[in-house]
Each structure stands twice: as structure tokens, then as C-alpha cells.
A = this chain, B = another copy of it.
Amino acid sequence: MNKNNCPDMKYLFEPGSIAVIGASHDKGKIGYRIVENILSGGYRGHVYPVNPVGGKILGAHVFESLEFIDDTVDVACIVVPARQVFDAIRSCGQKGVKFSMIISSGFSEVGNIEEERKIVSCARAHGMRVLGPNMFGIYSAAASLNATFGPKDINPGEVAIITQSGALGLSMIGKTAVEHIGLSSIVSVGNKSDLDEADLLEYLVRQDSVKVILIYIEGVKKGEKLAKTLKKITRKKPVIVIKSGRSKKGAVAVTSHTGSLAGADNVFDAVMRQCGVLRAETINEALNWCKFISNSPLPPGKETVIITNGGGLGVLATDACEKYGIKLYDDAATLKKVFSSVTPEFGSLKNPIDLTGQAKSFHYNTALDFAFRCDEIAMVIALYCDTAVFGGENLITMINENYSKSKDAGKLITFSVFGGEDTQSGLQELDKLGIPVYGDVYEAVSPLGAVYSYYHYLKNRTDKVDDIDIDVDSIDKIVWNVKKEGRFFLLAHEAQDIMRIADIQIPKSIVASTLEKAVKGSRAIGYPVVMKVVSKEIIHKSDVGGVALDLLNENEVIDAYEAIICNCKTKVPGAVIEGVEIAEMVTQGTEAIVGAKIDPSFGPIVMAGLGGIYVETLKDVSFRAYPLDRREILSMIKELRSYPLLLGVRGEKLRDINCLVDTIIKLGAIIKKCKGISDIEINPLVMYEQGMGAQAVDVRVLLLSD
């Protein structure tokens, strides 16, 4: 067992022995199907069907009870009805089983949460780990183990799949076979009562035979752990994720059909990007990526060239490149030098290179050869549409040969072919061979976009974390005092105290209980000042005339003081007025919003947005998991559509982005280290020119309620 009190995951994927508890003689039952699949799949370990009725299933002796098995059992596969699962788990625990897969359903997914919890704690007490319940089993090529109730013949290969949906996972077995994708393993995680994606990933990353990992996910339970694992894994191999529930409606559907809560999709999306995970939109796109990535090296760079025999396809591919973040090589001189000899005068030497409808094998071969030999070009998109002069067998040969040549050159290539019956059947033939040929230019560009994005991540990733020290004790003290009062939000002055502790600049202010003190305070702060009534009874201060802005001198302060006191006494007769707050009038600047919170899925996350009121309307905000390095924070800020505002528009100067980054780190550190705080948000953070810092004008702090 390792440090987490977990048997080595190797026993789950490559067990020396497996027991099927609930093995059935009835061919229509799952308990039969699983035994059948294990036996027919070529599993080399021991198989122990268990059923009180005994007998034989497909020649295998059926044990009446687990304890009768005179061998260690690494994995137990449990298919008995829900109400019998607990007893089965207990006997597995007593037997010293390392992993139990609970196929049976009827637990948290239908509200039966307590029973599921009971089962897991019983297992853990025996040092046993649980996969499921409500899952379809496991296929593992490393052990030739097909312990699922799905299809019989599974093609072994290099793609590992983890799926939260059982139905989808089972049908992916067939679908991947149709798409000529071999599987290294496929596991369903079901309700994730104990083991989850992160645990399974720990094994998969160590397996050399696994080239790429595909995860279908509906809801994240332990996001921090998942993110940490993914970050580790993507250093070594690409991970593709499909998360349904992107839309609001989708998220509701997820909640209704599994027991888990989907995190806000934009947080999920941001964290996945931060972890270097590739997120596909559709299953077909994900499988397309899996196939392409498992057959291709990483690109040697980002510059891409499109070679086509039809201008129209070229333009469509250009659009697709923009969509998928592919950089088209645009050094006109080099393009001309490289391709002019093979491109007719009425073709195009701008990228896309248009060989025109006259192009035959020779032209493609020559152009592609040039591209493979040109150091500046890393990736090639080769397009073909049916012409009278070239097609059929010649087309297939051309593609086949050039795919090989691209491999030799260490470059990436995808093909898109468009046309009639011959072309279509050529496509299918090549697809069978694992050559990336597609019927649509967008499909051809999409996997290049994915692999390039992974390459870019690997090139720029870092383990560095720009964390800072925070005086946690002082903040904890404030939080403690607030909680003692039974409050879960901080008053303005308390939030301001936290800003001071974290060294985040706030407008100077004092509370004055008399006119004399107000005048003195204003002088000390420096004109202009703003004045606000201080009274627990008055919430909407400006509505009752309790606020005065832009007070320029002593006379105006005196007038304002008297007006405010008078207004408040008249309009809120019972209010206890403690005095007025005098604060520095904040100079105009660019309004930002920054925040940090404990995300229910992913733990501490930070957020940035710009433009005050526009954040609410345009939802132009971005997220990252904390901690992270400054560069990643910068990339989060650059994701904002409104980012150019920080660079200075209409003659303004560059804003103090360094200070923005510092502030985000400070909020992240507070949320991570000061355990009682759930949300902290500065809105607006008024930003000045580079070097001039920013002012946290309004700060909101919420506490965890438990």
C-alpha cells in the first residue's frame, strides 16, 4: 500500500485474480456476461465466479462464497442487487480483496447516499478501495482483461478511456472499433464514491503503452485533486476531455441524471486549460483527436502551410485555422522561393498555396516535399477536391506516400479530400490505415489545432508558483471576531483591515463622530474628500442623502456634514448615527474587478475582469486555479476581451498590470491560507498608469458558513 492507504492501482488494471460476486447462470444477466467476457477475452489470471447456488459457468467452477476461494483475490467485481452489496463488500474486506468494482446501481444516483457512504467506509476500514457503484467494469489490454458487460472483442491499442457515463462508455467500445482506434483500457467511474478519475490516471500515466488519455466527465467532485493529477500527467502524455453540461440547460440535465454537481463550466474550462488538458466539444471531435495524436509526434513548431488544388477549399481551411488557433506561415519571400516552381502563374503563392485544378500527383509530391524540407514549416494541411485530371488510385498513393514522408521529416500533416464516390472510398481506405484524411476541412484542421495547443502548453508550462507570505494570524483574528458575532460577511472597515494586512492599497479614510473631527480628518486626508453617513440602520446611504462627493474645502465639508446629519435624521428618524466616514476622493482610472473564492469543485480560484459595470453585463471575466505563476496570471488577464483597455486606449497610458497581478496573487493567498474565508472580491479596483498602482475602492469578504 502507498502513502494514501491505497493498494497499488496496478492490481486493479492487472489483477492476478478476479472474483465475480453475483456470477449468474442466466445468459441474459450481467453476472453471466461479465464472466463470459473475462473468460473469452484471454485473461491470464485466475477467475472466480461466486454464487451461493454453485455449479459451473462456461466451465468455470462457481464458488458458493468468497471465503471458499483458496487464493488471494485482487479484484472483486460485484453484480448483486443493491441491497446485498454491503454484505458483499464486507466479505471482500474480510477476504483482503484489494479493489472492489461495484457494477450494481441503486445508490447515490437515485438518492441512496447513506448506503453508498456506508459501503465505502466499510471498504476503507479494510484497506480496500471501491470503484463505482453504478459502473460497467474495466477493460485492460495489459492483462487482456475484459471485465465488462459490454462488447466481447475489444481492439487493444494505445488510447485509454475513463468515462463517467456507463452507457456512453460501453458504446464507445464499438465506436472506437469502427473508427479503427485501439484501446489500452476503458474504465467507468460510475458514482465515484471512492476512486475517481485522478486515481485511475496515476496508473495510466505510468503505462508506456498508453499514448493518449480520453476522459468523459459530467461533474467534478474533487477538482483540486483532479487538477493536480492532470497537471502532472500532461507533462508526459496528452489528455483529452469531453465535459457535457456546457450549457445551463445541459448542467441541469447532468445534475438530474447523476449524483454529482457540475462546477460552473467556465471555471472547469479555465482549469483544464491551466492543466494542459485538451477539451473537445463533441465525442467525434475527441475521437478524431485521440486517433491523430496517438499516431503523430509533437510538431516541431507552429508555422503551418495549406496546399490545395482549389482556392475555395483553401479559404475555408484558412477560416478553420483561425478557429482552431493554427498559425499560417506568412513569410512571402520564403513561400515564393519554396513553392514558385510548382505553382502555375494563375495559382497563388500566398498561403494557402493554390496549385490550381491542374495539379496532379507530381505537383502535390513536389510541393509537399518542399514543405517537408523547409525548416520554417512545421505543419501541413493538404487539400484536394475532385478534378478531371487527378484522383482515384493516384490520389490514394499520393496521400499514402506523403504521409510516410511527413513522418520521416518529423512534421505533421492532415489531408482533406472532397468529392465523389472514388474520393470517398479512397478516404475510407486511408482512414483504416490510420492516415489522417478527412471529408471536411474543419475536421482536418481541428486535430492540428489540438496537438499544437498541447505543444504550446508543454513549451510554456512551469512548476513555478508565485505565492506570497500573508499575515494569516491577523486575518484569522478578524474572521474569528466576525464569526463570534454570527455574521458571515465582513463590514467595510473589517474588509479594509484585511486589505491593509495584505498590503493592498485602499483609499485613506477615517470615521468622525463630530463636525470638528470631520473637518480635522478631511484636512489630514487631503482634499477633495467624500463623506458618508455611518449608521447600522442606514443601508442605502445615497437614497437618504447620506453621501456627499467631491468636497473641495473646509466650507464644503461643514455644509455637507450638516446636510447629511439633517437628511438622515429626517428620513430615518430612529437611526443611531455614529458619525460620518471621510475618505479620500479616488482619482479616476480604469476599473477592474478581481476576486478569489473557494470553488465547490476546484478549491481556491482567482478571477479577473475589467470595466466595472460591464463585468455584470458582458460576463467578461476569466479564472484560474490558485496557486499559479505570474505568467499564468498574465495569460488569464489577456484572455479578457476587454484586455486592450489595460494597454491604454484613446491616448491613455499603459495601466499598472504588475499591480493587478500582485493584487490577484494576494487575494489568492488569502483565500488559500485563511481557512474561514469563502469569497473575497475587490470591485472596483481602480487602476492607474504603470508604476502608479491601484486602489481597492470597494471590498467584499464572505465567510464559510460551516
Q: List chain A positions with a Cβ less than 8 A from chain B.
A: 33, 105-106, 109-110, 149-151, 163-168, 170-175, 177-178, 216, 218, 242, 244-250, 252-254, 256-258, 281-284, 309-316, 318-323, 328, 345-346, 348, 350, 352, 354, 357, 385-388, 418-424, 439-443, 611, 613-614, 616-618, 620, 641-642, 644-645, 649-650
Give the Cβ gap from A354 to chain B, nearest Cβ, in Å.
Answer: 6
Nearest 9 CB-CB pairings of A with B: A174-B420, A165-B312, A167-B310, A247-B322, A257-B311, A168-B312, A244-B315, A171-B386, A171-B385
Would you call A110 and B319 a contact (CB within 8 A)?
no
Give the Cβ gap from A179 to chain B, nearest Cβ, in Å.
Answer: 9
Give the Cβ gap from A645 to chain B, nearest Cβ, in Å.
Answer: 5
> CB within 8 A of A614: which of B242, B321, B385, B642?
B642
> CB within 8 A of A282: which of B109, B171, B316?
B316
Give the Cβ gap from A162 to chain B, nearest Cβ, in Å.
Answer: 13
CB nearest to A318 among chain B residues: B250
Give the Cβ gap from A240 to chain B, nearest Cβ, in Å.
Answer: 15
Give the Cβ gap from A476 to chain B, nearest Cβ, in Å.
Answer: 34
- For A245, what are the chain B residues with a Cβ–Cβ distance below 8 Å? 315, 318-319
Report the bound CA distance from A322 to B258 in whole Å.
Answer: 21
Taking A613-B645, A642-B617 as contacts, is the C-beta distance between A440 and B311 under 8 angstroms? Answer: no
Report the bound CA distance from A418 to B309 in whole Å.
Answer: 34
Would you call B420 and A281 a contact (CB within 8 A)?
no
Report the bound CA distance from A443 to B644 in whole Å.
Answer: 36
> CB within 8 A of A284: which of B323, B439, B616?
B439
Taking A252-B350, A419-B174 as contacts, is the C-beta distance between A149 and B388 under 8 angstroms? Answer: yes
Would you call B166 and A420 a contact (CB within 8 A)?
no
> CB within 8 A of A249: which of B249, B322, B611?
B322
Taken together, the copies of this chain in the complex come to: 2
Give the Cβ gap from A519 to chain B, nearest Cβ, in Å.
Answer: 24
CB nearest to A620 among chain B residues: B618
Would you call A110 and B282 a contact (CB within 8 A)?
no
> CB within 8 A of A618: which of B249, B385, B618?
B618
11 A-B pairs in the complex with CB atoms less than 8 angstroms apart: A167-B312, A168-B312, A171-B420, A175-B419, A245-B318, A250-B316, A252-B318, A253-B350, A284-B440, A611-B614, A617-B644
Report the bound CA distance from A352 to B251 in whole Å.
Answer: 12
Give the Cβ gap from A349 to chain B, nearest Cβ, in Å.
Answer: 9
CB nearest to A417 among chain B residues: B171
Would you call A249 and B328 a contact (CB within 8 A)?
yes
Report the bound CA distance from A650 to B110 in whole Å.
Answer: 42
- For A323, what are the chain B residues with a Cβ–Cβ distance below 8 Å? 247
Report the bound CA distance from A257 to B355 in whole Å.
Answer: 11
- For A440, what are the chain B residues with a Cβ–Cβ distance below 8 Å? 282-284
Give the Cβ gap from A353 to chain B, nearest Cβ, in Å.
Answer: 11
Would you call A319 and B616 a contact (CB within 8 A)?
no
Question: Can you add 19 more A-B contacts, CB < 8 Å, to A253-B315, A617-B642?
Answer: A33-B388, A149-B388, A163-B312, A165-B313, A168-B418, A174-B420, A174-B424, A175-B418, A178-B420, A218-B315, A247-B323, A250-B322, A254-B315, A257-B354, A282-B320, A282-B440, A284-B439, A284-B440, A617-B644
Report the bound CA distance from A252 to B168 in whole Å.
Answer: 43
Give the Cβ gap from A189 to chain B, nearest Cβ, in Å.
Answer: 12
Give the Cβ gap from A565 to chain B, nearest Cβ, in Å.
Answer: 25
Report the bound CA distance from A500 to B72 in whole Å.
Answer: 94
- For A173, what are the chain B residues with a Cβ–Cβ distance below 8 Å? 420
Report the bound CA distance from A620 to B440 in whole Å.
Answer: 31
Most buried by B among A163, A167, A283, A312: A312
- For A321, what are the chain B residues with a Cβ–Cβ distance below 8 Å? 247, 249
Report the bound CA distance from A350 to B388 in whole Å.
Answer: 54
Would you call B174 and A386 a contact (CB within 8 A)?
yes
Give the Cβ gap from A498 to chain B, nearest Cβ, in Å.
Answer: 25
Give the Cβ gap from A314 to chain B, nearest Cβ, in Å.
Answer: 6
Give the Cβ gap from A126 to chain B, nearest Cβ, in Å.
Answer: 29
Give the Cβ gap from A5 to chain B, nearest Cβ, in Å.
Answer: 32
Report the bound CA distance from A178 to B419 in whole Å.
Answer: 8
> CB within 8 A of A650: which of B166, B244, B386, B613?
B613
CB nearest to A173 among chain B residues: B420
Would you call A167 and B617 a contact (CB within 8 A)?
no
